């Protein structure tokens, strides 16, 4: 994890609940829950692909969850190029 992110997380860990400003968070009312939808993530399939090393190194350098980022990039590509593809 990048150092500045870890520093921010450490600062948050030291805060008590009453130190957190929640004034801009709307209340969760019955109306909210009456229209809320339960969304279960689709399961994933393990595959082996061959990609150029520089592409893999870039994804690994910018994200700790590079596999999810690669999957998201593939999903966006498919969505942009195929009618009927849905998120």
Q: What is the pLDDT along the chain (87 residues), one digit of tens a residue?
A: 566 666 778 888 888 988 988 899 998 899 988 998 888 878 889 999 999 999 999 999 988 899 999 999 998 888 888 876 665
What are the sequence ranges of the domains in the chain?
41-87
Q: How far apart are CA 71 and CA 66, in angstroms?
A: 9
Please choose, from the candidates 63, 82, 64, the residue with its C-alpha nearest in 3D space to the C-alpha of residue 74: 82
Global pTM reads 0.48
């Amino acid at each position: 994890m990048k150092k500045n992110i870890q520093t921010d997380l450490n600062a948050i860990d030291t805060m008590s609940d009453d130190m957190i400003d929640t004034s801009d968070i709307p209340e969760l009312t019955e109306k909210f829950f009456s229209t809320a939808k339960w969304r279960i993530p689709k399961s994933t399939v393990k595959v082996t692909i061959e990609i150029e090393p520089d592409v893999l190194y870039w994804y690994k350098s910018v994200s700790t969850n590079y596999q999810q980022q690669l999957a998201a990039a593939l999903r966006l590509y498919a969505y942009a190029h195929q009618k009927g593809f849905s998120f």
